[in-house]
Amino acid sequence: DVKVTQSSRYLVKRTGEKVFLECVQDMDHENMFWYRQDPGLGLRLIYFSYDVKMKEKGDIPEGYSVSREKKERFSLILESASTNQTSMYLCASSETKSGGYTFGSGTRLTVV
Amino acid sequence: DAKTTQPPSMDCAEGRAANLPCNHSTISGNEYVYWYRQIHSQGPQYIIHGLKNNETNEMASLIITEDRKSSTLILPHATLRDTAVYYCIVRVPYTGGFKTIFGAGTRLFVKA
């Protein structure tokens, strides 16, 4: 089975800190995605990548950046964390652009 | 915006079939219908997808109407562990590929 691993399950950071959320998948998938999930707003796409070194903005990229130096790893970066970035962050990967997604367990980030 | 509509919640008795409906009246001829579910505090889990024909796997069956304007996900013998939010998704074209938009889904309660 494909495994998507997010480095932290729970994270607490201070306002203004630079935050790295790491995501690793072990099945050589080309495509990787970052979503955030908030009550009443559902899952919203932040960034995605169809290949190494490639990145595309999703619907809510402001305040975030990403890095994909290796195929298996897709990192989400909060340049200067703010309280409105407190959320559940979900990473996903897929083998093809039309295939189903495999999600990680999520990282619940609290910014204080 | 999501291209699907689902009832906000449904109940099902344990051991009975759970039939979850989804309307996707604007679906295009080559777009697949995907189903995911999300159990509390976990990442969404891919269940099944289909284009025209009915599909079945170890988790569920997917029935798509002939005009493709609606579909039904069937869990043949629901258990308490099937209590989750179920998302019906038709992906929309996006930069270089497709975007998966998660709507509010259907919250299924399986009761003993």
- Of all residues in chain B, the one with the smallest CA distance to A87 is B41
Q: Which chain B residues are within 8 Å of A50, Cβ to Cβ?
A: 96-97
Residue A104 touches partner B, C-beta closer than 8 Å: yes
pLDDT, tens only, A3-16: 999 989 999 999 99
Mean pLDDT of chain A: 93
**Which tens digit of pLDDT belongs to each residue from B83-101?**
999 999 988 777 777 778 8
Q: Is A21 on the interface with B (CB under 8 A)?
A: no
Nearest to B35 by CA among B4, B77, B1: B4
pLDDT at A1: 64
What are B27's two structure tokens? 């679906």
Write the DSSP assignment of chain A as a string of letters: ---EEES-SEEEE-TT--EEE-EEESS--SEEEEEEEETTTEEEEEEEESSTT--EE-S--TTEEEEEEETTEEEEEESS--GGG-EEEEEEEESSTTSPPEE---EEEEE-
| B15-68 per-position pLDDT tens digit | 999 999 999 988 887 788 999 999 988 899 999 999 988 999 999 999 999 999
- Which among A48, A74, A75, A72 is positioned nearest to A61, based on CA atoms? A48
In this complex, is the C-beta atom of A43 within 8 Å of any C-beta atom belonging to chain B?
A: yes
Q: Is B63 exposed, middle or buried (0-12, 13-18, 19+ CB in 10 A)?
A: middle
Q: Tell me the pLDDT tens digit for each residue of A50-89.
A: 989 889 999 899 999 999 999 999 999 999 999 999 999 9
* Per-residue pLDDT, B27: 86
Determine contact, residues B8/B107, Cβ cutoff 8 Å: yes
Burial pattern A65-98, b for ≥16 Cβ within 10 A else e, equals ebbbeebbebbbebeebeeebbbbbbbbbbbeee
Residue A2 has pLDDT above 70, yes or no: no
